[in-house]
Amino acid sequence: MPTWKVTLEYDGTRYRGWQSQKNTDRTVQGMLLRAAHELLGADVACGAAGRTDAGVHALAQVAHLKAHKAMPESEIAWGLNERLPADINVLAVEKAPPRFHARHDAKSRTYFYRVSRRRTAFEKPFVWWVKDPLDAAAMRRAAKLFEGRHDFASFCENPEGQESTLVVVEKCEVVEVGQEIHFRITASHFLWKMVRRLAGTLVEVGRGNLDAAGIEKLLREKSSAPAKWTAPPSGLFLEKVVY
């Protein structure tokens, strides 16, 4: 069965996330499968490197696509884009080994989150506008505390349902870009809602409601506090997947 590595971008605003669901066809995977079925026939399977949540976007999501029908990569990319809605776009299609799996074979994933310091007429679906003054330097220092191997149970939805809440964060940084503050994090994997809760926690630091000692305590002792700080999905992007 031919296998391809598909890189795609999407605006997640209208979708219930990546993962196909029984009660709705409004998912990114559902849209990609429907396009692939029309192009390559009924016997098609696909999966992604990251199961982005409802409203979350991707700049370079990676999926594997398997089908019995062979076709040149350029024709697959063109054919899928002809059948996909405007807010989902295939960037590249590459031939992959038969056993390639987008999620299991990924070595790291990078997400970034956009916080806007100003009201915007055009960017609302892609940022979180925080009206309060934010101390970006304090947020930058706090972000470094997340690097390394930590138990992120405090930052996970349903930690009891996870095999493990231990995650090794390779890099975590906060940078100022014009009127925005960007939070970027790289790790081998992420827990459910982990990045949004980390982003919300850093905003609490920026507001002056939380300090370094508070961050360290959240990593040391399980707490439900970050749940109420969960950042909205609008500002979150899956930026890169490394194999």
Residue 42, classified by CB atoms within 10 Å of its CB into exposed (0-12), middle (13-18) or buried (19+), is: exposed
Show the CA angle centred on residue 51, arms to residues 229 and 47, nearest 5°: 180
Q: Which of 153, 219, 194 is nearest to 51 (CA)?
A: 194
Residue 211 is a catalytic residue: no
For the beta carbon of residue 115, count every other beta carbon within 10 angstroms: 25
CB 90 within 8 A of CB 84: yes
CA atoms within 13 A on the CB side of 57: 19
Read off φ and ψ for residue 146, nearest 5 degrees: -85, -15
Residue with tokens 């849209």: 31
Helix (H, G, I), strand (E, B) or coil at 184: strand
Using CA atoms, how far apart are residues 101 and 107, in angstroms rounded to an integer?
12
Catalytic residue among 25, 43, 53, 132: 53
Catalytic residues, which ones? 53
